[in-house]
């Protein structure tokens, strides 16, 4: 996020929420949005194919067909530029590429956008004006924007929109992805990615390679690794032989599961380090018992880049150990000495990660967490990015054309399936399904289907149904819901017995390699 | 936008605050404590309890500090014999609606009412009225127990449900002596426990865990929630190596004390019987328990063999968005420097 949670909500005049079912997936942020509307009179714009909870508080709700996000965002910019609501001073001083961008968005008139997305032209115009006229407008988005075969384009388009209106580098504004997992920000910051070392330092750069090689006393590989969504291909090509998985459950969370399972079976050796015997662990050759968040010390970095402490409250069960201890024991087998003391490791992180250089356990304690970048110990941390100057120098405005989703509904598979989460559950639900309180409300998988569609198919609420895609089929139960529009069904990926990712397709964004979880074509039959 | 400032005196001390500030907030700025009960920082002032009454020179009556905005040049007195009596009587009236069952109450030791009764030296219940027994009604969520007879009708719970979570699962039902907080829309309840969090007495208590304890019988460890990316700060309440409850602190962390159902009631997996407790090695298709040494030696041998035969890029490591920064750092360091590959990723895209 460019801005902090409190800032992007309580300081904003207008809040644009898109591709985020905030009340279900980030309930506490939804509370802030509501507070901004109810107490501060902020205006809320929701753009989402689903009638999410926050629609009740919205000034205006636009309901595009799933996919085609670039079209409506370009449409927003079209209206803003035509009404002279863009911030010329900011554009001139802080960005480049405006003329090229202008040329592309010129064609995205509200009428043209209506053709593509189904959003009525006058509604789009009204919403764009609300956003464009605000002194400070923030954008909140999540996987509804990113999990598309053109997810990168979607994000860049939102950045374009924020930049041409000067909504970057100031209070109550920004482009704010709500991150879905406790430490997904930290895992990225720490270099848990195939192309970068800690602090986003590219691996395919000689200087970086030298720096880390000397820091770690080993010669590092200068070739980029492959992103996880490419694992199936690598296995099929015979290039990948072993997989070491620490706290992940890809056999529920990854796309096109039937195909992935076949690939995983071909591997020579699999290690899984986890707290439960997950669907993935079943395939392992060695399973190591790990510790959960309540059983260890360390830090997590939240969605607003705030580094916060994790503190040990209880001991892990039996012989289970925290991942840091396990890794140091394994390193010892390889003849390398690693510390298993979290604070020692954090000191090493500070040394090699410029964004974390000024953060210490003591400062986290004293300041209720510290937001990176924090270059030195005198620096207060950075709750808002790009203040005064865009980090890149000039913000790059990228002209982008709309691309439709890879798989479109047809006669054989007439429905669009879009996937996501439910309030009570988290990810592959290995934790949440083992908590009585959460299972009480959400014990079984359900597929949300529009009442009109259900009527046509002769399906009642709670009926068993079979959902088929070109890749496989799952048996689940119907939930009649007017939250989804006609022609769209919604399923969540929490339930392994009706693993929705059996249906999803392996279509990836060319840059981010993120799968298109928000659009695939399915057919629905009564079981 | 420049705010208009108002100058006033509280207990003889001068203070300048923006127009619209309440006397309570202005006093807080000076570090002067005015006792409160129904007031809660995150809620619009309720003004139901009369604990925060203050005197203002030239005003006819004492006024509630939580609801009274400051005026230019007023002189406020926050402590006097009259105010002590008013507050004491307000507490006595609250006790009409609250049995002194502190010895059996989960909230004992951290109850605002208990603390104020102690502070105001109330040693007996003077007002007695035969009230209808309200018992333990069904509440909006099965994870909270409502002790209706302990409710002093401060209305914090109702206000929090409406203002913080935007719902209205509970409200006042009935009139006069029959008035009580009751469920009006069970469907609206999301079990976030915001009502439980703001309740100043033991009228709402945690019902999920059958082990109960009071403040001094267990440890509270502040940590970061392990679910979504908001990074809510919560406290794990630990009794004999077991998490028995989750609490949160007002104003602390990005959540300022608020939580959702997962953060407040989703902790039971920690002690699930399904937890892995020993390393396992698959032999002839079945998992067999092994020692750490045996398991780690096997991993080392296999990874070394594969690396030698197919090169370092034939090995892939998936690190985790669930693990700590320190663990993620160490994992990628191990893969990059010991295995020698950049084949590292995690579920950021999923």
B95-135 pLDDT, tens per residue?
988 988 999 999 999 999 999 999 999 988 777 777 778 88
Verify whether the Cβ–Cβ distance B324 to A435 is below 8 Å.
no
Share of chain B above pLDDT 90, in %: 87
Q: How far apart are the C-alpha atoms of A502 and A507, rounded to whole Å? A: 14
Q: Testing the interface with B: which of A142, A241, A297 to mutate, by most B Cβ within 10 A?
A: A241
How far is it, in rounded angstroms, from Cα A157 to Cα A164?
A: 11
- Residues A509, A149 contacting (CB under 8 angstroms): yes
Say whether residue A42 is in contact with chain B using an 8 A CB cutoff: no
For chains A and B, CB pairs below 8 A equal 452
Q: Do A304 and B346 touch (CB under 8 A)?
A: no
| CA neighbor of B196 nearest in space, from B93, B117, B265 | B265
pLDDT at B2: 57
Q: How far is CA A523 from CA A267, A458, A472, A508, in A?
A: 33, 14, 11, 22
pLDDT tens per residue across all 350 residues of chain B:
457 999 999 999 999 999 999 999 999 999 999 999 999 999 999 999 999 999 999 999 999 999 999 999 999 999 999 999 999 999 999 998 898 899 999 999 999 999 999 999 998 877 777 777 888 999 999 999 999 999 999 999 999 999 999 889 999 999 888 889 999 999 999 999 999 999 999 999 999 998 888 888 899 999 999 999 999 999 999 999 999 999 999 999 999 999 999 999 999 999 999 999 999 999 999 999 999 999 999 999 999 999 999 999 999 999 999 999 999 999 999 999 999 999 999 988 88
Q: What is the Cα–Cα distance from A397 to A194, expressed in whole angstroms?
A: 27
Q: What is the DSSP string of A195-255?
A: SEEGGGEETT-HHHHHHHHHHHTSPPP-S----GGGHHHHHHTT---EEEEES--HHHHSS
User: Distance (Å) from the C-alpha of residue A180 to the closest C-alpha of chain B?
Assistant: 5
The residues in A 393-432 lying below 8 A from B, measured between CB atoms, are 423-424, 426-427, 430-432
Q: Please tell me whether the interface predicted TM-score (ipTM) of this complex is above 0.90.
A: yes
Query: By the CB < 8 Å criterion, does A312 face chain B?
Result: yes
For residue A515, report the phi and psi dihedrals to the nearest 5 degrees: -75, 155
Interface contact B332-A313, CB threshold 8 A: no
DSSP code of residue B226 = S
- Put simply, the answer to whether B275 touches A35 (Cβ < 8 Å) is no
Q: Which residues of chain A have pLDDT under 70?
A: none
Report pLDDT for B1: 45
Between CA B215 and CA B172 the distance in angstroms is 30
The reply to whether residue B242 touches residue A314, judged by beta carbons under 8 angstroms, is yes
For residue A134, which of A96, A171, A176, A91 has the smallest C-alpha distance?
A171
Using a CB-CB cut-off of 8 Å, the residues of chain A touching B143 are 437
Helical axes A151-164 vs A69-82, angle rounded to 10°: 20
Phi-psi region of A298 (alpha: psi -120 to 50; beta: other; left: phi over 0): left
* Calpha distance A62→A76 (Å, rounded): 12
CB A169 within 8 Å of CB A384: yes
Q: Do B143 and A194 touch (CB under 8 A)?
A: no
In SS3 terms, B304-327 reads as: HHHHHHHCHHHEEEECCCCCCHHH
Contacting A residues, span 81-120, partner chain B, CB-CB under 8 Å: none
Taking the model in full, what pTM does it have?
Answer: 0.95
Q: What's the gap in Å between the CA of A102 and the closest CA on chain B? A: 31
Q: State how far residue B53 is from chain A, nearest Cα, in angstroms.
A: 26
Contact B292 A319 (CB under 8 A): yes
Q: In chain A, which residues have their Cβ closer than 8 Å to the Cβ of B241?
A: 314-315
Nearest 5°: the CA angle A73, A451, A489 is 50
Strand segments (E) across chain B: 5-10, 13-18, 53-56, 63-64, 75-77, 144-146, 170-173, 180-183, 204-206, 219-224, 233-239, 242-247, 280-283, 286-289, 315-318, 344-345
Contacts of B340 in chain A (CB under 8 A): 218-221
The edge-to-edge listing of strands for the beta sheet with B5-10 is B13-18, B5-10, B75-77, B53-56, B63-64
CA distance A335 to chain B (A): 9
A296 contact residues in B (CB cutoff 8 A): 324
Is B92 near chain A, with CB under 8 Å?
no
Distance CA A294, CA B223 (A): 8
Q: Chain A residue with minimal CA distance to B315?
A: A242
The reply to whether B296 touches chain A by the CB within 8 Å rule is: yes
- Cβ contact (<8 Å) for B277 and A198? no
Query: What does the pLDDT look like over A145-180, one tens digit per residue?
Result: 999 999 999 999 999 999 999 999 999 999 999 999
Measure B4 CA to nearest chain A CA, in Å: 18
Question: Which of A183, A275, A285 lies closest to B276 in CB terms?
Answer: A275
Interface probe for B, chosen from A7, A247, A439 (most Cβ of B below 10 Å), is: A247
A178 Cβ partners below 8 Å, 6+ apart? A1, A20, A22, A25, A26, A29, A140, A141, A142, A303, B229
In chain A, residues 462-521 whose CB comes closer than 8 Å to chain B:
512-515, 517
Say whether B327 and A293 touch across the interface (CB within 8 A).
no
Query: What is the dihedral angle through the alpha carbons of B193, B195, B200, B202, rounded to the nearest 10 degrees?
Result: -70
CA distance A343 to chain B (A): 8
Token pair of A526, please?
């009564």
* Alpha carbon distance A62, A124 (integer Å): 7
Q: pLDDT tens digits, residue range A408-454? A: 999 999 999 999 999 999 999 999 999 999 999 999 999 999 999 99
Whether residue B211 lies within 8 A of chain A, CB to CB, comes out as no
């Amino acid at each position: 996020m460019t801005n902090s949670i409190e800032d992007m909500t309580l300081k904003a005049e207008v809040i644009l929420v898109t591709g985020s079912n905030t009340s279900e997936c980030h309930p506490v942020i939804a509370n802030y949005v509501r507070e901004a509307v109810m107490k501060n009179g902020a205006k809320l714009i929701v753009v989402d194919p689903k009638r999410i909870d926050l629609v009740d508080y919205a000034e205006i709700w636009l309901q595009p067909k799933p996919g085609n996000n670039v079209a409506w965002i370009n449409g927003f910019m079209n209206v803003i530029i035509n009404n002279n609501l863009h911030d010329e001073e900011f554009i001139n001083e802080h960005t480049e590429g405006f003329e090229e961008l202008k040329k592309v968005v010129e064609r995205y008139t509200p009428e043209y956008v209506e053709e593509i997305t189904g959003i009525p032209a006058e509604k789009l115009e009204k919403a764009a004006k609300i956003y464009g006229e605000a002194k400070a407008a923030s954008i909140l988005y999540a996987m509804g924007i990113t999990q598309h075969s053109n997810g990168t384009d979607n994000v860049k388009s939102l950045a374009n929109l924020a930049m041409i209106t000067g909504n970057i580098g100031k209070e109550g504004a920004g482009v704010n992805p709500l991150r879905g997992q406790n430490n997904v920000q930290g895992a990225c910051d720490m270099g848990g990615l195939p192309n970068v070392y800690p602090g986003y330092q590219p691996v395919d750069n000689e200087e970086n390679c030298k720096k880390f090689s000397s820091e770690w006393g080993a010669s590092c590989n200068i070739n980029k690794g492959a992103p996880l969504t490419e694992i199936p291909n690598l296995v099929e090509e015979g290039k990948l032989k072993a997989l070491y998985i620490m706290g992940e459950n890809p056999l529920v969370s990854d796309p096109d599961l039937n195909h992935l399972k076949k690939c995983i079976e071909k591997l020579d050796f699999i290690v899984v380090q986890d707290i439960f015997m997950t669907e993935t662990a079943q395939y392992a050759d060695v399973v190591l018992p790990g510790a959960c968040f309540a059983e260890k010390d360390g830090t997590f970095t939240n969605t607003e880049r705030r580094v916060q402490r994790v503190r040990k409250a209880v001991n892990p069960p039996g012989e289970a150990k925290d991942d840091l201890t396990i890794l140091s024991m394994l390193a010892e087998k390889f003849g390398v000495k690693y510390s298993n003391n979290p604070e020692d490791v954090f000191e090493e992180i500070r040394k090699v990660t410029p964004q974390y250089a000024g953060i210490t356990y003591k400062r986290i304690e004293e300041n209720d967490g510290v937001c990176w970048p924090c270059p030195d110990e005198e620096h207060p941390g950075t709750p808002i990015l790009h203040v005064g100057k865009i980090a890149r120098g000039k913000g790059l405005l990228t002209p982008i054309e709309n691309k439709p989703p890879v798989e479109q509904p047809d006669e054989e598979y007439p429905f669009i399936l879009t996937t996501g989460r439910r309030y009570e559950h988290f990810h592959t639900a290995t934790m949440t399904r083992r908590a009585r309180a959460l299972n009480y409300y959400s014990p079984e998988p359900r597929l949300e289907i529009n009442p009109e569609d259900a009527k046509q198919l002769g399906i009642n609420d709670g009926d068993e149904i079979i959902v088929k895609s070109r890749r496989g089929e799952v048996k689940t139960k119907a939930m009649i819901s007017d939250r989804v529009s006609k022609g769209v069904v919604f399923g969540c990926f929490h339930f392994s017995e009706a693993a929705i990712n059996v249906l999803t397709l392996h279509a990836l964004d060319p840059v981010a390699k993120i799968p298109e979880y928000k659009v695939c074509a399915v057919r629905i039959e009564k079981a | 936008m420049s705010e208009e400032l108002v100058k006033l005196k509280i207990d003889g001390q001068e203070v300048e605050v923006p127009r619209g500030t309440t006397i309570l907030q202005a006093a807080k700025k000076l570090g002067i404590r005015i006792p409160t009960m129904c007031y809660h920082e995150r809620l619009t002032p309720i003004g139901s309890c009369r604990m925060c009454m203050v005197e203002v020179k030239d005003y006819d009556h004492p006024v509630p500090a939580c609801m009274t905005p400051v005026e230019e040049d007023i002189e406020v007195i926050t402590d006097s014999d009259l105010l002590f009596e008013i507050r004491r009587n307000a507490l006595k009236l609250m006790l009409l609606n609250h049995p002194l069952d502190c010895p059996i109450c989960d909230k004992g030791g951290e109850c605002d009412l208990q603390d104020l009764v102690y502070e105001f030296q109330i040693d007996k219940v003077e007002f007695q009225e035969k009230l209808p027994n309200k018992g333990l009604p069904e509440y909006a969520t099965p994870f909270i127990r409502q002790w209706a007879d302990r409710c002093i009708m401060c209305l914090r719970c109702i206000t929090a449900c409406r203002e913080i979570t935007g719902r209205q699962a509970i409200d006042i039902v009935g009139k006069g002596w029959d008035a009580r907080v009751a469920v009006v829309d069970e469907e609206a309840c999301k079990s976030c426990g915001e009502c439980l969090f703001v309740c100043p007495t033991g009228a709402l208590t945690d019902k999920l865990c059958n082990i109960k304890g009071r403040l001094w019988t267990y440890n509270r460890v502040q940590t970061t929630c392990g679910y979504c990316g908001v990074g809510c700060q919560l406290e794990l309440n630990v009794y004999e190596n077991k998490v028995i409850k989750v609490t949160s602190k007002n104003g602390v962390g990005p959540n300022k004390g608020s939580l959702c159902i997962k953060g407040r009631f989703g902790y039971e997996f920690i002690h699930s019987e399904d937890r892995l407790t020993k390393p396992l090695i698959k032999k002839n298709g079945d998992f067999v328990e092994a020692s750490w040494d045996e398991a780690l030696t096997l991993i080392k041998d296999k990874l070394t063999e594969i690396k030698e035969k197919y090169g370092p890029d034939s090995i892939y490591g998936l690190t985790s968005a669930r693990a700590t920064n320190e663990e993620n750092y160490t994992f990628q360091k191990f893969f990059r420097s010991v295995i020698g590959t950049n084949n590292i990723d995690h579920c950021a895209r999923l």
